[in-house]
Amino acid sequence: LTPPEGLQRAAVLLRRGVLVVWLACVAAAIGIAWRTHYVADLSAFLPSTPSAEQAVLLDQLRSGVAARLALIGLEGGTPAARQQASRQLAQALRESGTFDAVHNGDNTQFEATGKFLFEHRYLLSPAVDVQRFSVEGLKAGIDDTTSLLGTPAGALIKPVILRDPTGETVRMAEGMLPAQSPRMDGGVWVSRDGQRAVLLATTRADGADLDGQQRALQQVRERFAALKAEGVRLILTGPASFSVDSRDKIKREVEVLAIAGGVAIVGILLFSFGGSLRTLLFAVLPVACGVLAGVAAVSLAFGNVHGMTLGFGTTLIGEAVDYAIYYLIQARSRAGAPPGDGARRWTAESWPTVRLGLWTSICGFAALLFSGFPGLAQLGLFSVAGLAAAALTTRYVFTVIAPDGAPGVGMRRRLGEAVGWCSEVLPRARWPLAALTLAAAAALAWWPSAWHANLASLNPVGAEQIRLDEELRQDIGASDNGTIVAVAAADEAGVLAQAEAAGERLDKLVASGAIGGYESPARLLPSPATQQRRRDALPEPAVLAANLQAATADGPLPARRLQAFLDDVQAARQQPVLTLASLKDTPLAAALSAQVLPGDGTRPWRALLRVQPVDTQPVDLAALRSALADLPGTHVVNIADEVSSLYARYLREALVQALLGALAVCLLLALHLRSWRRLLRIAQPVAASVVLVLAVMTGLGVALGILHLVGLLLAVAIGSNYALFFDQIRAQQDSQAPGPGVAIDTDTLASLALANITAGVSFLLLAFSSIPVLSAVGQVVAPGIVLSLLLSAAFIPRRQA
Amino acid sequence: MRLLQLLRQTLRPEIVAAACAGLLLALPLSAHAAFDLPELARLMAQVKSGEALFTEKRSVAMLERTLESSGRLTFAAPDTFVRETLKPRPEKVSVVGNQLTLTSGNRTRTLRLDAVPEAAVMAEAIRGTLTGNRQAIERNFIATVSGQPQRWTMELVPIEPQVRDLVRSVQIAGQQSWVREVTVLMADGDRSVMSIEQVSSVRAASAPN
């Protein structure tokens, strides 16, 4: 295949052209990666085609309030010191401008809100109807209100009773006070045991704006430190703190892992290539190109790159470095061969095998591309693009810049001999190994499924932090895992009316003691129809005056003292109906933004009614569902259930995709090899190592999740390369004439061993990561690929010389 | 000891020192002779549950006449207390543990008692006294007991400054293990007097010593 003189010159030019194209690609990828937006919120791991209940969960997450919460606890010191610190910290944070709202139970800040509500009481109070202003209605209302006077509860109504004798203020407050409020001590929120003051702050920065959230949390720490509260400690949890901590932790660990992996790999390479710096640089080239291509592809396709995808990217080092090792060893020049012979020989002999390995890997990961979860699809695309870039760099760039592989022998002759020895000994253990695999498969079938890891297993935040967060949420009554009644309608008026309809049903459940209470946006902002009805119920001045006269005839509050009431009712008859728009820039708008999620062309308007249990008992979902069954567009959503069902769906979908991917890989191999025998030969060791790893993990009681599955895919992708090489050797032997003198290619074997060791070491490092996402991948891949190599040697015996 | 801590918070150090010395001197005597809070709590704790009728008269400065109401009180150890107003309009306040349920007409609301200090103060005063829960009383009030078992009075002054801004004191008068009268003095001068008439009570099988 030696080209004529003229063509050779063209080939040189072409090679230079290849380099130029490659450099341009690298530059473009760097440019894209530089400008990429990196995200760490959960939304990438939410389904794009949700069920009705999941849609509620998603809308709630998208509304962003949940992601902007910071839960603050103050512990230690005396109760008085904690209470003072709570007041001062809340004040300082409100002034800092980095928070939309800071709640600590101190209601003095709500003076403006209270005034606004009071001025609109005849539109907002649930008690207002025609009957309310009749003689009997007025009398009952005034009796209700005066009965509060002279008790501690009456102290709040006393200053306004002459303007509000029927107690509309009380009725509004009743609806708005949550059933699960925190304990009050010294005028601020404290935990139920009183040992901790608690605050709830909403950051101004968006949930996705991690830098902004980090600054907000830093504000909390600095302002707290400035208080110099004696003996009082600050605790900071909540979604904002979780995301910032996770990002820091992932960043830190990815750095450490990259350095440790790099050092290990460099060590191994030096050991096997005898200390050539040039070889080292070459070896990391496909890795770097792979990661860059992965980031660029994901960024182009999804508009952002998730932190988890990036973390996963470091695992790609393991497979990408294999390509470099295969080439650098297998393409080294033979004695007496012309320059460039190594590259030609490698392209002819080994590249088809590497290419086939690449195709099988791509097949496996491409299955993830069709995932309904953008996050999983990102992982798939990242792997496909990364592996392709690494392989192409090896094939087209290495053949130009290192046409004769890497010089230096180092220890790799020994390595080759060791693998050669293994491949002679291991086939003897073939039947016991097969029996072991069958036993493992039987055990897997017999044992209950271990695929039951939950979403929390993806959380890089430690268990201690999660427990603390749950405690603070209990204190504040802001549990994440509550029950929500969600109603949907086409517009604002519709969704508020719908919330009122659901509220009527819920009122009955509160009365019967089935639920403790509920929060509804319609209490803060009734539907326009309801407000109009209330306004229409307000009588004309003369009628009201006459009714009031009759109602107070022998009562404790004479009508002559209630002129202000008459004036207020008359003023209310002219009040415009309140809407979300008219509440803009009031504290009420902030409260409503968590409960009313505006729709757009594709999504309906949604209102969320948070249901509170009776004391600490769980809410009876069946009773709730049956009470609301015939209301259109209404769903009862248990957040904890939905989150776990979401993850279960996620896992189920990924399992099916992985199986489809495996099927596609088999199909591809069958088409390429056109031999059932060879297909079986290659599938055996890979499938056996998957079964063995799964059996050991299940036997150890590890809860398997999505990342273990992705790890298995990766193990299959890498492991199948070894099987393919063993198969290539066997096929070469088979094609040669039988008899003595069959060359044992120790270099190919050495390259396999070296690739296996480097990949194994880098995944072993991952297995010890404290980030669950990374350790899950490492735990599966490291043993999986080592087993794949050993089993390939055992199950694909070389013909004995 | 809790009482000492409270004194220390409210008084100047030198007075505390004097008071401590006084208390120490008084201690051996009080255990035998004087009728005090532990003694009263022991007495009250003998009654496990009970039912009574009440009439309440409330004088409020800004109202033209005294408000009157009547109804039924029930309680059961350890932590249940229900005040059911029958006249002039039906109304019910029930406290079970930390849960406060308010029923008025067809409306029911549930709240955490410790989240509403102004409601908790009344509930703890009456429930704590009726069930003989000394800890609950001492947690919320500075209690002064005087008189003898056959005719005693207890003055409860709220510890919490925010609550003291509303309620100056609660005075409870009783006879043996029964409460006869509860007087609430509000900080703004309003006052209510609740007279209680026993209907039935269940005593513990064996009175604790």
pLDDT on residue A613: 80
pTM: 0.72
* Chain-chain contact of B186 with A146 (C-beta, under 8 angstroms): no
Alpha helices in A556-604 (DSSP H): 563-572, 587-593
**Three-state SS sequence of A98-130:** CEEEEECCCHHHHHHHHHHHHHCHHHHCCCCCH
- pLDDT higher than threshold 70 for residue A727: yes
| Chain A nearest-CA residue for B116 | A184
Residues of A in contact with B110 (CB under 8 A): 179, 510, 516-517, 612, 614
Of the candidates A328, A285, A466, A461, the one whose C-alpha atom is nearest the C-alpha of residue A751 is A328
Of the candidates A126, A142, A114, A110, the one whose C-alpha atom is nearest the C-alpha of residue A174 is A126
Percent of chain A past pLDDT 90, that is, above it, reads: 28
Task: Indicate the pLDDT class of residue A3, thresholds 50, 70 and 90.
Answer: low
* Chain-chain contact of A517 with B110 (C-beta, under 8 angstroms): yes
CA A379 to chain centre: 13
* Chain-chain contact of B63 with A187 (C-beta, under 8 angstroms): no
| Residue B110 near residue A181 (C-beta atoms within 8 A) | no
Highest mean pLDDT among A406-415, A575-584, B112-121: A575-584
pLDDT on residue A799: 66
- pLDDT higher than threshold 70 for residue B28: no
| Residue A321 near residue A279 (C-beta atoms within 8 A) | no
Percent of chain A past pLDDT 70, that is, above it, reads: 92
Task: Indicate the pLDDT class of residue A688, thresholds 50, 70 and 90.
Answer: very high
A58-62, A79-83, A275-279, A596-600: least confident range: A58-62
The C-alpha angle B116, B122, B128, rounded to 5 degrees, equals: 110
A615 near B CB under 8 A: yes
| Most A-contacting residue of B107, B160, B162 (CB-CB within 10 A), to test interface | B107
| Nearest beta carbon to residue B89 from set A143, A149, A513 | A143
State the Cα–Cα distance between residues A283 and A759, nearest whole angstrom: 13
Tokens 């297995």 locate to A767
- pLDDT higher than threshold 90 for residue A438: yes
Task: Indicate the pLDDT class of residue B155, thresholds 50, 70 and 90.
Answer: very high
Tokens 């892992």 locate to A257
User: Which amino acid appears at position A325 of this protein?
Assistant: I
A305-319, A360-374, A436-450: least confident range: A305-319
CB count within 10 Å of CB A372 equals 15
As a whole number, mean pLDDT of residues A44-64 equals: 67
**Position with higher pLDDT, B77 vs A294:** A294
**Position with higher pLDDT, A139 vs A617:** A139
pLDDT on residue A236: 92
- pLDDT higher than threshold 70 for residue A60: no
A184 near B CB under 8 A: yes
As a whole number, mean pLDDT of residues A499-510 equals: 92
**Position with higher pLDDT, A254 vs A725:** A725
Task: Indicate the pLDDT class of residue A196, thresholds 50, 70 and 90.
Answer: very high
Q: Is residue B32 exposed (0-12), middle (13-18) or buried (19+ Cβ within 10 Å)? A: exposed
| ipTM higher than threshold 0.85 | no
| Chain B nearest-CA residue for A174 | B109
* Chain-chain contact of B62 with A149 (C-beta, under 8 angstroms): yes
**Position with higher pLDDT, A677 vs A603:** A677
Q: DSSP readout, A479-517?
A: -TT-EEEEEEESSHHHHHHHHHHHHHHHHHHHHTTSSSE
pLDDT digits (tens, 9 = 90+) for B56-109: 999 998 888 899 999 999 999 888 999 999 988 888 999 998 888 888 877 888
State the Cα–Cα distance between residues A678 and A633, nearest whole angstrom: 57
| Most A-contacting residue of B10, B59, B62 (CB-CB within 10 A), to test interface | B62
Task: Indicate the pLDDT class of residue A494, thresholds 50, 70 and 90.
Answer: very high
| Chain B nearest-CA residue for A173 | B109
